[in-house]
Structure 1
Amino acid sequence: MTAIRLVLKKVSPEQLFMGSVLLVNGGNYIYNLILGRLLGPESFAEAALLVTLLLILSFLGMTFQLATAKFAVIFSGEEWSNFRNLMYRLAIIFGLVTGVLMIFFSKDLQSFFNTDNAAMFIIFGIGIPLYFFMSVNRGTFQGNQDFRKLSLTYQTEMWSRLLLTLGLLLFVPWQPAFIVALGIALSFLFGLIPSNFKVISFTKITALQPKNAKRVSNFILLTACYEFTQIIINNSDVLLVKHYFNELDAGLYASLALIGRVVYFVAWMFVMLLLPTVVQKQKDGEPTAPILFKYVGYISLLSVCIVMACYLFPELIISLMFGEAYISMAGLLWQYAFATSLFAISNIFAYYFLSLDHYIPVILSGLLGLSQIILVVFFHTSLEMVVQVQIIAMVALLVAQLLYFTQNKLI
């Protein structure tokens, strides 16, 4: 125990957070692999739909998290307290509205996605308000660079979801999709650990200073628009495949998407470190581009390694992770990983622009995100075509981000 304490003292909070993120991503992968192996391709399609809805929810939550993180660096004293209370109120209101809408339209969602019943959407909707509350918590920790608490909230959410879902699947004879939805909803409750409820006041309503209120509203609107484009780019393919293809193909594609997105999930770790650092350096009048180049370099190197591994050993990777039932996706694995790698790199640029309050990249991402949907809607005669049109859209997105960066000479 003494040796462990000495090692932990030498580990910086940033290093601890990076290690924690890798562990969380690993746990989430194990969670999905267990679902894939236990349920088989057809049933896994519904579980993967819920995981995709969770990813969409995480993008929406990032609006609250990033806004809280940014202004935790900028505001202080009473203005920070007023802003934090405002974010908690907005998060709860938005969460309740979103949850109620999902419950109300649960039958329509069942019909559109061809699921067995609507209960999975109802359970998921009940947990949504907790997720947005948790997102403001995380934004506070991120902005204050309290990476220990930030790491803990991700760990409690991930481990509770993994253990609860596995336990229920093994010992409770309920429908698998219902169990997965229940495990996800309960994990949001555990994700509230740690929380400091004493600093939150819902009765005290104090307005921000006018100039700060305008700055906050502009950033929230900008971030919400970008996160919406993230939802489109990162999740529309899985949702459209679930709509256009049969259960077997949808399950096979979901396994492909899960493996290919590993680059994006690791890139997310650098986004968490990037935003508060860039905002602080801009505030101090220091160059910000070196931080961008460092993280783009990391993700590019990781992308090359993953795409090459997927190209050289696709059958081995798929059989080890999901089993022989999914092996027909081997030929597409490197292509999907390539598309995701392009998105991950462009995503680092996009969050860098968001940190500096640049609006045009959000518009570019939105247009290219919509183009991806349009391409898949018109070109989906095979799963191969679905992947290849995404590569086209992601190449265009990254080129657009690079052109904007070079033309504006951002430092």
Structure 2
Amino acid sequence: MTTVKVALNKVTSKHLFMGSAILVNGGNYLYNLLLGRILGPEAFADAALLVTLLLVLSFVGMTFQLTTTKFAVLFSGNTWTVFKSTMYRYALMFGVCTGAVIYLFSEQLQVLFQTENHGMFKIFALSVPLYFFMSVNRGRFQGKHHFGKLAATYQTEMWSRLILTFLLLLLLPLESSLLIAMGIALSFIFGLFPSDIKNIQVFAKERLSSAHLKEVWIFIGLTAGYELTQIIINNSDILLVKHYFNDTDAGLYSSLALIGRVVYFVAWMFVMLLMPTVIQKQKDGEPTAPILFKYVFFISALSSTIVLACYWFPELIISLMFGDAYISIAHLLWQYALATSLFAISNIFAYYFLSLNQYAPVILSGILGLSQVVLVTLYHDTLETVVQVQIIAMVILLIAQVIFFLIKNSSSSNNNDLRDVRPRTL
């Protein structure tokens, strides 16, 4: 019993969050795998489009979450109280506007992505404001290191989506895409728990000072710019394949993308811990590079393992996860995993720089993100070509991030050396 107590005492809230994040990623994977198996490649194409839209929404939501995280560390007292209300207000206003645009253009989206109906986009649109409100909530927990509550909100969202979606598919005689959209919308409601929004006045009259507001908007702009590049890099390939290829090929590619993105989803877990730690260390005047090295090592080791497994056992992995109907895409699995691994590692560098208010990595990612879209638009004769042009873009992105880090680190070291010069005596 004593040994057990000692072991439990060593378990921190960060460890619990890591365990919870693994469970959430596993649950989300199970959700996608079951959809793929139940629906088949053709119908899964529409389902995968909704999941991709959910990922796009999560990247936009990260702008609100990371901004709240950063200033939860930096602000205190009345400034923090006013800031919270401000972020909830921004999130609701942006969510309502975004949802309205998706709703109004639902028919055009149906034509663009060749879906069976436009009702799925309308249902999705109605839920958008809830997601952004939830993102601010998560940023509060993340910045204040309330990792237990942060884990709980991800758990409630994941389990409700997993259970409710398949109950709806089982019980209601409607098109699968409509039912999946309903499941996603309902999961956002459950994801609001725990909310912990006491004393939050969304439309309070008190405002941040002009200096603080400027600081907040600069970071929002920087983060939004980077999250936009994340959306482009992480999701443009699926959207373009859905546009250029038939439903069967799009469904096959979606299964490939889902398996290959294991690395990215695990890297996300480390980003949640990286950012508040780097901001706090910078605030305290401590070195931040060791934190970067630790997480880059973890993700690199994990990436290598997954890429090798996909290279050695592609057909087995595809068959176990999605079934024999998807086996024709197996030969591309390791290549897609490689592209995602390169992106995941460069992503750790990017969020590290973002924590330190460095603008150049955002610009680099934006350029490479757009280049990926251009390459896929120009070269999409086969699914193999689509994957290979992404590898080229991600190699260039990672090299650029590493070079930027070396330059900045060398510059910082030289400045420290100059400050450490002391008069010498003979």
TM-score with structure 2 length normalisation? 0.94
Partner of 1:357: 357
Measured in 1, the distance between the counterparts of 2:225 and 2:4 equals 44
How far apart are residue 207 of structure 1 and its match? 1.9
Partners of 1:236 and 1:121 lie apart in 2 by: 18
Q: Give the 3-state SS of the residue equivalent to 2:399 in structure 1.
A: helix
Mapping 1:315-330, distance limit 5 Å: 315-330=315-330
Please state how far the C-alpha of 1:152 moved relative to its aligned partner: 0.1
CA distance in 1 between counterparts of 2:29 and 2:148 reads 22
Alignment-derived partner of residue 170 in structure 2 = 170
Distance 1:89 1:163 in 2: 31
Q: How many residues align?
A: 410
Whole-angstrom CA distance in 2 between matches of 1:310 and 1:201: 50
Q: Distance in 2 between matches of 1:108 and 1:325?
A: 31
Amino acid corresponding to residue 302 of structure 1 in structure 2:
L
Instruction: Tell me the residue number matched to 2:304.
Output: 304
1:285 alignment counterpart: 285
List structure 1 runs of 4+ shifted beyond 2 angstroms: 3-10
Displacement of 1:170: 1.5
Task: Tell whether the 8 Å contact from 1:82 to 1:205 is kept in structure 2 after alignment.
Answer: no
Q: Which residue of 1 aligns with 2:218?
A: 218
How far apart are the structure 2 equivalents of 1:321 and 1:8? 34
CA deviation profile, 1:38-77 (whole Å, cap 9, x unmatched): 0000000000000000000000000000000000000000
Instruction: Give the equivalent residue in structure 2 for 1:61.
Output: 61
Deviations 1:339-382 (A, max 9, x none): 00000000000000000000011011000000000000000000
Matched, 1:180 2:180: yes
Letter aligned with residue 358 of structure 1: Q
Which amino acid in the other structure matches residue 358 of structure 2?
H
Q: Secondary structure at the match of 1:25?
A: helix
**Higher alpha-carbon Rg:** 2
The answer for the alignment partner of 1:107 in structure 2 is 107
Tell me, in whole angstroms, the C-alpha distance in 1 between the residues paired with 2:353 and 2:62: 15
| Map of 2:48 onto structure 1 | 48
| CA distance, structure 2, for counterparts of residue 213 and residue 126 of structure 1 | 29
Q: CA deviation at 1:210?
A: 2.3
| Distance (Å, rounded) in 2 between the aligned partners of 1:10 and 1:277 | 19
Tell me whether 1:74 sits opposite 2:74 in the alignment: yes
TM-score of the superposed pair, with normalisation by structure 1: 0.98
Listed as ranges, the matches of 1:6-405 within 5 Å are 9-405=9-405
Answer whether contact 2:123 2:182 (CA < 8 A) is retained.
yes
CA contact (8 A) 2:67 2:219 kept: yes
Amino acid across the alignment from 2:193: I
Q: Sequence identity of aligned pairs in percent?
A: 67
Task: Give the deviation of 1:6 after TM superposition.
Answer: 8.4
Gaps in structure 2 of 5+ consecutive residues = 414-426
Distance 2:40 2:5 in 1: 43
| CA distance, structure 2, for counterparts of residue 14 and residue 37 of structure 1 | 34
State the alpha-carbon separation in 2 of the partners of residues 206 and 11 from structure 1: 40
Q: 1:205 to 1:6 in 2, by over 3 A?
A: farther
Amino acid at match of 1:49: L
